[in-house]
Amino acid sequence: MRIATWNVNSITARLPRLLAWLESSGTDVLCIQETKCSAEQFPAEALRELGYESAVNATGRWNGVALLSRVGLEDVVTGLPGGPEYDGVQEPRAVSATCGPVRLWSVYVPNGREIAHEHYAYKLRWLEALKAAVGEDAAGERPFAVLGDYNIAPADADVWDVSLFEGATHVTAPERAALAGLRETGLADVVPRPLKYDHPYTYWDYRQLAFPKNKGMRIDLVYGNESFAGAVKDSYVDREERKGKGASDHAPVVVDLDL
């Protein structure tokens, strides 16, 4: 079973590449972040023609997540139970479902913007709510994983030059402590470092030739419970999909399981 996560940075802009990638990669379940569309605008029919059902949490031009599955899609939960609001609304940042033998979440963790910004405090509250929401499944026997854009680099080695991020989000102790809190529920990072590259980053800014210079970050993560992690046979970052015209600024992260 092949499961992947990908921040597409607008599913409308990325649709031709997404459809081609799904056909060529053999992915059974894809967790998507930053759909940047409403639920009505989501290209469910085009995906259905490829054999994928869709579970979508999207409300407009910002944020938005989805789960695409060709192995079943049941018990869908839209949103983060108990999650905090920002500017009076619960943003579309989480969706979960049972896909064949596994239970999966697609999450787009708030960016945080700046440490002094209210969005940073919101980010930490959101992560605390995520920890509470996934605890039961994380401790269970069924294979379970939370995949997505966490907007946190777990360690200094996950940033091309951590000294440039001093005083900035994505690398702070409270954010990394929140990831540690998720691991306390029984989840673990199932994509080892290093993979096929010394620095298996997943995100590169569009500016200043960041991708050709490999000035990236590893912020797209797959956190699985013991049953999920024990079934992992291979994993990789599909750097090829970050290349060329019309690419997202993130690359897909792919995990193969023997279930």
* Domains of the chain listed by start with CATH number: 2-257 (3.60.10.10)
Within 13 Å, how many C-alpha atoms sit on residue 99's CB side?
29
Q: What is the total residue count of the chain?
A: 259
pLDDT of residue 61: 87
Instruction: Tell whether the model's pLDDT for residue 195 goes beyond 80.
Output: no
Instruction: Tell whether the model's pLDDT for residue 197 goes beyond 60.
Output: no
pLDDT of residue 67: 98
Give percent of the chain with pLDDT exceeding 90.
Answer: 95
Instruction: Tell whether the model's pLDDT for residue 194 goes beyond 60.
Output: no
Chain mean pLDDT for the chain: 96
Instruction: Tell whether the model's pLDDT for residue 198 goes beyond 80.
Output: no
Tokens of 133: 């929401």
Query: Do residues 182 and 126 lie in contact, with contact meaning Cβ atoms separated by under 8 Å?
Result: no
pLDDT of residue 199: 64
- pLDDT digits 0-9 by tens, 125-167: 999 999 999 999 999 999 999 999 999 999 999 999 999 999 9
Q: What is the mean pLDDT of residues 190-198?
A: 66
Query: Do residues 147 and 222 lie in contact, with contact meaning Cβ atoms separated by under 8 Å?
Result: yes
The strand pairing partners of 30, in sequence order, are: 4, 68
pLDDT of residue 247: 97
Q: What type of residue is 259?
A: L
196 confidence band (pLDDT: 50, 70, 90): low
Q: What is the mean pLDDT of residues 80-106?
A: 97
Predicted TM-score of the model (pTM): 0.97
Q: What is the mean pLDDT of residues 221-235?
A: 97
- pLDDT digits 0-9 by tens, 173-193: 999 999 999 999 999 999 976
Instruction: Tell whether the model's pLDDT for residue 48 goes beyond 70.
Output: yes
CA distance 56 to 80: 13
